[in-house]
Amino acid sequence: MADANSTRAKIRTSLFCLWVIAVVAPLCPLAGSAIPLEDPASAVSVTNLETFGTAGKEGTLYPDHETVLFQHKGTGCVTHMWFGGDWPGYDRTRIRFYVDGETKASIDMELFLGHGIGWGDASAPWGSARMGKTGHPSGLYNTYRIPFGKSIRVTGQLGAGVGKRQVFWWIIRGVENLPVFLGNLRLPPNARLHLQVRENVELKPLQMFDICQAPGAGALYQVTLSVASKNFNFLEAVLRAYLDGAHEALLLSSGTEDYFLGTYYFNRGMYHLPIAGLTHKEQDADGTCRFSAYRFHEDDPIIFQKGFRLAWRNGEEKDGKPYGSPQHSRATSYVWLYEW
């Protein structure tokens, strides 16, 4: 009798499992899905992945034309870069990325600002998993994920004001068929990393400044801001994000320094964290106040579906009354976006 009861129990269990598969799973997708992995990269099959890359030793950069540092055909993702060299104006060296046959580079950066550093700041060593600076003026590295579908071409050129050719070192590496993640979010195959630059924009007190605009779908990746003024009251500015054509802003901070995770005008000096960092702050003898900082949004995603606008302001006010006495300022911004 016990054997008969055991057999009936096994049959009922099997029928219940079949019912779950046939009926419940289609109605509740989570019932039939795998438990999300803690590390999303571990969900990627390695069978079709292949590493590519190069290194350049004592190559030459020129002031009047670009030097090709690396080029590759196929589908993949750049995962690592390092740059070396030493000359006055090294920080302004231009690195350009031409993705999928572009004639105008979708990423065109000065070397230091492309790593979150303004005003040629000499501080080193510092670093995180995403980027850092191990010497001066060189030893800059990053692990930005730059995806491409057909080809990638990377070039270098001397920055403005450097008139003679210079010796340059570099490493560029990546992986074919590697998908891109933003934190735990796997991005679409057509996602591409773009850089929007606003350079040396003159701003009146309390003037709004659109540091980025995008028309379609995507995600904010990184923001670098570099500003000079006659005082630090510009740090009162709130960063405003306008998502999907909204007229009302999503407030990203109560002031500029807390957007970059600082406090009270960065009263403890410079810092370099995985998510954000203050890379320069000083007041010159003539009273000019300068700062630069970076902020990543990998684990703090800001996603948009139908357009995006990011605005900074030269100072701030409440009920018509300014905070402090903001002055005319000069600002440069680098905003990195994944768009698809």
Phi-psi region of 62 (alpha: psi -120 to 50; beta: other; left: phi over 0): beta
The domain segmentation of the chain, as residue ranges, is 2-33, 41-179, 188-339
96-121: average pLDDT: 98
The amino acid at 235: L
Residue 308 in this model has a pLDDT that exceeds 60: yes
Q: 188-339 in CATH: which number?
A: 2.60.120.1390
Q: How much is the CA Rg of the chain, to the nearest whole Å?
A: 25
Two tokens, residue 280: 């320069």
The per-residue pLDDT for range 243-299, each reduced to its tens digit, is 999 999 999 999 999 999 999 999 999 999 999 999 999 999 999 999 999 999 999
Mean pLDDT of 83-105: 98
Q: For domain 41-179, is the CATH number 3.40.47.10?
A: no
Q: How confident is the model at residue 31 (pLDDT cuts 50, 70, 90)?
A: very low
Same fold across 41-179 and 188-339: yes
Beta carbons of 81 and 91 less than 8 angstroms apart: no
What percent of the chain clears pLDDT 90, i.e. is strictly above it? 86
Q: Please tell me the distance from the alpha carbon of residue 94 to that of residue 78, in angstroms, as a whole number.
A: 18
Q: Which amino acid is at 262?
A: G
C-alpha distances in Å from residue 290, one per residue of 100, 187, 232, 330: 38, 36, 8, 10
Report the pLDDT value the prediction gives residue 33, as an integer from 0 to 100.
36
**Degrees (nearest 5) of the Cα angle 184, 244, 302?**
25
Given a cut of 70, whether residue 117 has pLDDT beyond it is yes
Q: Which helix (H) or strand (E) holds 251?
A: strand 250-251
Report residue 187 CA to chain centroid gap. 14
At 121-165, the pLDDT tens digits run: 999 999 999 999 999 999 999 999 999 999 999 999 999 999 999
- Tell me: pLDDT of 12 over 90: no
Of the candidates 112, 54, 61, the one whose C-alpha atom is nearest the C-alpha of residue 78 is 54
Asked if residue 125 has a cis previous peptide bond (ω within 30° of 0), the answer is yes
Distance (Å, whole) CA 77 – CA 174: 6
* CA-based end-to-end distance of the chain: 65
